[in-house]
Amino acid sequence: MKLSDQQRTNHTYYSYQIMFMALAFFLGTLILIKLSQDEAKHYIARLKVNKKVANFLFNILMICLTNVFNGVLDGNLEKLTDLEKHQSKTARVSSLIIKNVIAKFVNTTVIYFILFRLNPVNPISREGLVEKIVSLTSFSAAIKMIIDLVRPSYLIKRLTNFINYKGKKRINLFQVQLNKALQNE
């Protein structure tokens, strides 16, 4: 079924709306964490936990959530781009790249700037914006390297194939179906 240019434009508009709604949801999540950090200060003082350790743990939580959300965005931006029904592969890839750049920029920089504006401190201090962005970048790179080395999806697929197709058990699939089931990537 062919789409008109207006329908394609509407699909693109809707995909950007969905992307920004997801980013707004994530911003709300991080604001709740930031507010809970401020509320938890008196509990932390009662538990006699070092303030720096508590701030570090909250920052790690925020960084981990940012990475999880970036991973969720990766898969969903692909699906949103496919829904746009582009006329060419070049248009599809261009749209995907633009969405990825916008989403990752907003998710890693703009959101942290908004959080910084909620509780402004010296931007280059230990709890400032620069430290948070540098920590986010460094920790994200470390997480990405570990995931690339371990490749959890590959390990899960191998384990699943081992459980489902071990030994000389008869497999009732055509070769094409079996090959698809056994693919590791």
**pLDDT tens digits, 1-55:** 577 778 888 888 888 888 889 888 988 888 888 777 767 777 776 777 777 777 7
Average pLDDT along the chain: 79
Q: Do 134 and 47 have their domain in common?
A: yes
Same domain, 78 and 162: no
For residue 153, count CB atoms less than 10 angstroms from its CB and return exposed for 0-12, middle for 13-18, buried for 19 or more. Answer: exposed
Residues 176 and 132 in one domain: no
Whole-number pLDDT of residue 140: 76
CA distance to 32, 99, 121, 148, per residue, from 20 (Å)? 18, 10, 28, 28
Residues 98-107: b if buried by 16+ CB within 10 A, e if exposed: ebbebbeebb
Both 52 and 121 in a single domain?
A: yes
Structural domain count of the chain: 2
Rounded distance, CA 172 to CA 105, Å?
48
Per-residue pLDDT averaged across 96-117, rounded?
A: 82
Same domain, 38 and 124: yes
Euclidean distance between CA atoms 7 and 118, whole angstroms: 40
Say if residues 107 and 66 touch (Cβ distance below 8 Å). yes
Q: What letter does residue 108 receive in the DSSP assignment? A: I
**pLDDT category, 185, cuts 50, 70, 90?**
very low
Same domain, 59 and 142: yes
Residue 121 has pLDDT above 70, yes or no: no
87 with 50, same domain?
yes
Instruction: State whether 143 and 166 are in the same domain.
Output: no
101/164 same-domain check: no
- Cα dist. 177→33, 67, 121, 185 in Å? 46, 34, 59, 15
156 with 143, same domain: the answer is: no
82 with 43, same domain: the answer is yes
Give the residue numbers spanning the domain of 173.
Answer: 152-185
Residues 185 and 124 in one domain: no
- Residue that wins the pLDDT comparison between 124 and 155: 155
DSSP code of 6?
Answer: H
